[in-house]
A and B are shown apart, each in its own frame.
Chain A
Amino acid sequence: MRKLMPTIAVMALSVPALLGLSGIAQAQDKFKLGMAVGGNTCCEWMKAQGDVARALAEKAGWDYVELSNNNDPATAVKNAQIFVQEGVDAVIQFNGQPSANAAISAVLGAAKIPVVTYDIADPGMYFVSIDNLAAGIAGGEQLGLIMKEKWDCNPDLVISSEGAGAGIVNEWRTGGMRTGVNNICPGIPDEKYISFEGSGDAAVALPAARDLLAANPNAVKMAVVGINDGGMLGLINAAEQLGRADEVIGWGQDGAFITGDNVNPHLAGSVFYFLEGYAVYAIRDVIGPIAEGKDVPLKADPGDPASKVQPCPVSAEQAKAVPDMPERVVALLAAPAGTTEYDLFCPNK
């Protein structure tokens, strides 16, 4: 009996150990997706991008690791190193600080980990993006149509709320919107196009917008575009404070402030990107096939991306039929695999 006891004890202790080992082996077989969210607190969609990627990864039976880039290049590079240590099989990132992309590409490339990057291209990463220039032009043309109808294409000012930190994306969006306005209303003099730095944040843009309006005291008919809805709203709020909002018309980008029951009446429309749902494109066109062992050719060129997200310009009236972001995420995750929010919610397909 005495000799039997240690044997039983060893056997009993072996069971969890064996279970643990088999668990480790199983985990090693499992595909592991790393997700680096942008971490800029400007926008709810940045956090939601991670939530959607997590849900889709779990649906696919993959392991999932999420880190935040904290909108900081150094953190983004450190996160790439952590992904290597974690042994992920693929990474999705939204990195608003393109200066770090080359270093991230080098770290993950050395470990042979494929990377999908959203909206800001890098030669070593699969590019999944909205066509920012097309989105800008589409929004600008819609605004131009309103300007043509209301003002016979004769505004006092066309104001751009810029977000210079976003680099080329800012130029595509705000420049695209000016091009779109010009497509519908050619002949607006150059001096009527003016810009200010709004950082894509309504609260930060507000004082600069007030100053710009004060320096243009006679402007009444003002069309406003912006890198996103938030930056554009900064000018609308400033116009309200200075008592000059009667004839302000804004058309934004990203659709962040055009749904729900608290929409500013001067916001005429926006372009939905459904940014929170980008993971559908990334997983459908890149990560999914890689997980299945297929060879997916690297497409890093903005002109020929690995997956193209369709922009969806909507008027404020049409946007009333589009649910808020949390509801959209629920519907997206309940839809068949590969279904995009554009398919589900865009009224102008």
Chain B
Amino acid sequence: MTLDRAIDAMPAATPLRLRLEGWGTPITLLVVWLLLIAATGLYRPDFFAHQTVLAIAFTMSITGVLAIGQGIIGISGGFIDLSQPACLILSGLVAVRLSEAGLPLAVVFAGAIIVGMAWGALNAAIVVAAKLNPVIVTLATNFIGLAALYLVFQLAQVPNDSEIYHMGRARFLGLPVIWWPMLVLIVIVGYLVHYTRFGRRMTAVGGNRFAAKARGISLKTTRFATFMAAGGFVGFAAVLFASAAGPFNPSSAITLQLSVIAAVILAGISLAGGRGSFWMLLLSVGFLSTIPTSLVFFGLSSDNQSIFQGTLLMIAVAIDGYRARRGSP
């Protein structure tokens, strides 16, 4: 082969942007996270301590599981579920009452998950029956739910000597026990969404509901299933929340909402539906959970985190919109 022919036979040079296709977001997020860790560690070397890892891992646990539920709604085209706080508190209250009754942890989990799924089914029923925008519906059910919860209870707290209380303080392999289910769920859901029929249908409905319908996918069934699944994850997160939070009231979960939505968007899960990887949630939730801890090490109050998270959210939404306009993943 002459040199000229060899050159002709070579594939065209691929631009760096294309070669990074699909990996751009995780690499960027990972680099930014590592930079944050490195900067904090340089400023305060004691940042590299087990206590820091524990603090971040505890924060990740509940946010991570809630982000799975939020991500399912997003990827299926439901945009966002604004009723997560009410669902979390309702399911958490059920978890407290079941643990007060002395029931085993498995029953506590089952009860909270069932209540969460029922909440999701309620949202789906309203969305499907009234053909309303899911954002409006979940905003309304959150208001109604919290108002109703105010009437039912003021404070709830799992018993100090219960299994669930100890779960919220225990460790496994040096990390909080409640962190591990978050990891396992993200890995499993990431797999299911990409490699199972239902997962692909859910993503297809989010990507193009008309095309999905033309392919014989039932939009109603998918909507119900996604809202119920998302509610189930909130129910699961509620048990983790009840185990770790100490006494809580109906408004105790409102502050979680911003972190969860930011985590989903930063993970690249499109709120317009149809694309995103759940495995990326590990990076985005980890990054967002590190920010408040870093701020405290820098001598800033952790309540400044809202400023950082709000800014990041804006940037992430802008990137999401840019991606959607370009049609790139």
Contacts and interface: CB of A to CB of B under 8 A. Distances in A.
B49 interface: yes
Given A207-B302, A208-B303, A234 B246 contact: yes
A241 B177 CA distance: 10
Interface stretch (B122-130, B247-255, B263-271): B247-255
Nearest to B253: A203
A213 B51 contact: yes
A207 B51 CA distance: 13
Interface stretch (B54-62, B136-144, B231-239, B272-280): B54-62
A203 B154 contact: no
A43 B44 contact: no
Contact of B176 (A236, A241, A263): A241
Interface in B152-193: 154-155, 157, 159-160, 168-169, 171, 176
B203 interface: no
A204 B154 contact: no
A206 interface: yes
B244 interface: yes
Question: Is chain A's binding surface mostly helix, strand, loop or mixed?
Answer: helix
Contacts of A215: 44, 293, 296-297
Contacts of A257: 247
A241 B54 contact: yes
Interface of A: 41-44, 46-47, 196-197, 201-204, 206-208, 210-215, 217, 230, 233-234, 236-237, 240-244, 256-257, 262-265
30 contacts: A41-B251, A42-B251, A43-B155, A44-B154, A46-B154, A47-B154, A197-B302, A202-B247, A202-B248, A203-B246, A203-B247, A203-B253, A204-B255, A207-B58, A208-B301, A208-B303, A210-B54, A210-B59, A211-B295, A211-B296, A212-B296, A214-B55, A214-B296, A214-B297, A215-B44, A215-B296, A217-B52, A230-B247, A242-B55, A262-B157
Given A213-B55, A262-B159, A264-B160, A41 B248 contact: no
A206 B247 contact: no
Contacts of B58: 207, 210, 241
A214 B251 CA distance: 26
B173 to A, nearest CB: 14
Contacts of A214: 49, 51-52, 54-55, 293, 296-297
Interface residues of B, number: 39
Contacts of A202: 245-248
A63 to B, nearest CB: 24
Interface string B40-71: 00001010010110110011000000000000
A206 B250 CA distance: 16
Contacts of A230: 247
A122 to B, nearest CB: 26
Contacts of A217: 46, 49, 51-52
Nearest to B54: A242
B51 A242 contact: yes
A212 B302 contact: yes
A213 B55 CA distance: 9
Contacts of A44: 154-155
A197 B251 CA distance: 17
Contact of A41 (B59, B150, B168, B246): B150
B252 A204 contact: yes
Contact of A201 (B150, B244, B252, B296): B252
